[in-house]
């Protein structure tokens, strides 16, 4: 399955091509996802002599994380999925880190200025303290694209019109 993977949930933009049993990944650290994501994808397509319509599916990280970064990644992924009429899959940033790790009784933590996004195999929450989670083993926030693809193979695609950002906490505009 030829797959385009996009992760823009934090300042590290990750784009991977899983193409004909090969994996190609590029990462860019940026606070301006809108100026780097599409050129990154385009450069990779040109370098590997791959066409966008060679992909059979898209996998996109839908958060939690950077509000603007997530929305840019989702918009690009949805546009490509809709234009090419190929399935789109979403995975939360927390789940992506969890499936990338082999440790037991694990949790993933993403910190922001006011608290913590916490994910385990059973739940994802937003909290202001990690005190209640001392019994969990914290995973490194590193992605293993092949393990993520193995996980994606176990779930169903999302209707492209139903793809939305995963905000664990209620955003200010919705309060």
Residue 79 CB neighbour total at 10 angstroms: 12
Give pTM, 2 decimals.
0.94
Domain 3-92+143-174, what fold? Answer: Nucleotidyltransferase; domain 5 (3.30.420)
pLDDT digits (tens, 9 = 90+) for 105-145: 999 999 988 899 999 999 999 999 999 999 999 999 999 99
Alpha carbons 88 and 120: distance in angstroms, whole number: 24
pLDDT digits (tens, 9 = 90+) for 33-70: 999 999 999 999 999 999 999 999 999 999 999 989 99
User: What does 8-75 look like in DSSP terms, one character per residue?
Assistant: -SSSEEEEEEEETTEEEEEEEE-S-HHHHHHHHHHHHHHHHT--GGG-SEEEEE--SS-HHHHHHHHH
What pLDDT, on the 0 to 100 scale, is given for residue 113? 86
Return the half-sphere exposure (C-beta side, CA atoms, 13 A cut-off) of residue 18. Answer: 19
Burial code (b: 16+ CB inside 10 Å, e: under 16) for 104-133 equals: eebbbbbeeeebbbbbbeeebebeeeeeee
Asked if omega into 24 is within 30° of 0 (cis), the reply is no
Which residue in this structure is represented by tokens 């999302």?
158
Cα 138–chain centre separation: 19
| 164 token code pair | 């939305």
């Amino acid at each position: 399955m030829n797959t385009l993977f996009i992760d823009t949930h934090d300042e590290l933009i990750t784009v991977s091509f899983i193409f004909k049993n090969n994996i190609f990944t590029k990462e860019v650290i940026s606070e301006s996802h809108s100026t780097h994501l599409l050129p990154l994808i385009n450069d990779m397509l040109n370098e590997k002599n791959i066409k966008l319509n060679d992909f059979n599916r898209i996998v996109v990280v839908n958060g939690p994380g950077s509000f603007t970064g997530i929305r840019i990644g989702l918009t690009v992924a949805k546009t490509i999925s809709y234009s090419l009429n190929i399935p789109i899959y979403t995975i939360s940033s927390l789940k992506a880190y969890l499936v990338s790790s082999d440790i037991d009784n694990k949790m993933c933590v993403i910190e922001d200025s006011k608290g913590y996004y916490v994910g385990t195999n059973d739940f994802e929450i937003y909290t202001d303290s990690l005190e209640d989670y001392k019994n969990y083993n914290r995973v490194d926030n590193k992605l293993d694209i092949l393990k993520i693809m193995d996980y994606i193979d176990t779930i169903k695609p999302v209707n492209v019109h139903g793809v939305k950002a995963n905000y664990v906490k209620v955003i200010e505009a919705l309060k």
